[in-house]
Amino acid sequence: MLTIADKTFHSRLFTGTGKFKNSQTMAEAIKASESELVTMALKRVNLNDDQDDILSPLTKAGVNLLPNTSGARNAKEAVYAAQLAREALQTHWLKLEIHPDPKYLLPDPIETLKACEKLVEMGFTVLPYVHADPVLCKRLEEAGASAVMPLGAPIGSNLGLKTEEFLNIIIEQSQVPVVVDAGIGSPSDAAKAMEIGADAVLVNTAIAVSNDPVAMGTAFKEAVIAGRRAYEAGLGIRSHQAHASSPLTAFLEDF
Amino acid sequence: MQFFVNDQPLSSEASLTLEQLLEQINQTDKGVALAINRQIVSRSRWPCKRIEEGDRITLIKATAGG
């Protein structure tokens, strides 16, 4: 069981709702993943547009919603987006993300820390999306973040855990849950993150853009369970030399 | 009276509450939030809060995202 702030989760796999071909596939994939916390974004309503209702299937599925502040380029915009998100989804949970540069979507650490301080003061449960920076993660923890969400690689890149060495340091030092977010491209990446001791992973693109998102949702669920179980069991020590696992007795020597 | 919803100009002969506006523009779904002149107006105030001339209303909704 994983506890973040006031909620407890059976599943350590969090999922996103973006990039699915339709909301039915999204709902089925999330169901298959058994994720209990899913991210959502905000957009301006287009008055001439048709209704695009993704909220109903998620409400029906009974999952917890984690609105994000995607689109915010600085702390001020993020605080405004957070308040709108709280109104729209009636939750004080928030994935704080501030990425001013659309090419790499890398999070702005200074604005994120500023916004986190303010939002915690305002009563939000803040889960900041950040680079895998151990110092920043400690500062966010001190500012009252309920978890930290360091990236494995740029959003949607499917590159895997490029930041692994830094994730190790973050995991070792953190007093709040560590959720590896962004870049996880395959179930093996998710399993790896869990094996090194992450408390959870957040996966969106890798599930949504798969040929079969429902099957991929299941694959991620299983990988996260396997990775966590391996972490709890304790992995063996790595070595550059062989260590025999069969007895090297000399019974063939008289042959 | 003229006002703006997400930068689109709208007008109304009669005085409108936010709740009436949302009914008129067919946005009564859950998952919607709004601000007037960048001040968020909570849902509980929609039935009584009246729109004023020149108000700039930001109307947002929850959508898919990671």
Note the pLDDT tens digit of each residue in A112-165: 999 999 999 999 999 999 999 999 999 999 999 999 999 999 999 999 999 999
Largest CA distance in chain A: 89
Write the residue in A40, A44, A87 that is nearest to B6 by C-beta.
A44
The catalytic residue among A95, A114, A192, A221 is: A95
pTM: 0.91
Among all chains, which residue has been given the structure tokens 């895997």?
A160
User: Residue B30: what pLDDT?
Assistant: 81
Task: Indicate if the pLDDT at residue A179 is higher than 90.
Answer: yes
Provide, as residue numbers in chain A, all residues whose Cβ is less than 8 Å from the Cβ of B27: 45, 47
User: Residue A144: what pLDDT?
Assistant: 98
pLDDT band at B33 (very low <50, low <70, confident <90, very high): very high
Residue of B nearest to A203 (CA): B66
In a domain, A250, yes or no: no
User: Residue A250: what pLDDT?
Assistant: 74
Pick from A27, A30, A33: which is nearest to A218 by CA? A33
Write out the residue range of the structural domain in which residue A70 sits: 2-233
List chain B domain ranges: 2-61
Write the residue in B29, B40, B62 that is nearest to A42 by C-beta.
B62
How many angstroms away from the CA of B25 is the closest CA of chain A? 7
Answer whether A40 sits within 8 Å of B65, measured CB to CB: yes
In a domain, A253, yes or no: no
Kindly report the CATH number assigned to the domain that includes residue A55.
3.20.20.70
Lowest pLDDT segment from A122-126, A177-181, B27-31, B60-64: B27-31
State whether residue B54 is helix, strand or coil.
Answer: coil
Task: Indicate if the pLDDT at residue A50 is higher than 80.
Answer: no
In a domain, A25, yes or no: yes
Mutate to test the interface with B, among A45, A47, A209 (most CBs of B within 10 A): A45
**Structure token digits, residue A243:** 């260590």
Report pLDDT digits (tens) over A214-223. 999 999 999 9
Residues A140 and A112: their CA atoms lie apart, in Å, by: 9
Q: Give the number of residues written for chain A.
A: 255
B2-61 sits in which CATH class? alpha beta
In a domain, A254, yes or no: no
**Structure token digits, residue A101:** 């540069």
Provide ipTM, 2 decimals: 0.90
Give catalytic status of residue A19 as yes or no.
Answer: no
Averaged pLDDT, B17-43: 91
Give how many domains chain A has, as a whole number: 1
Provide, as residue numbers in chain A, all residues whose Cβ is less than 8 Å from the Cβ of B29: 51, 53, 55
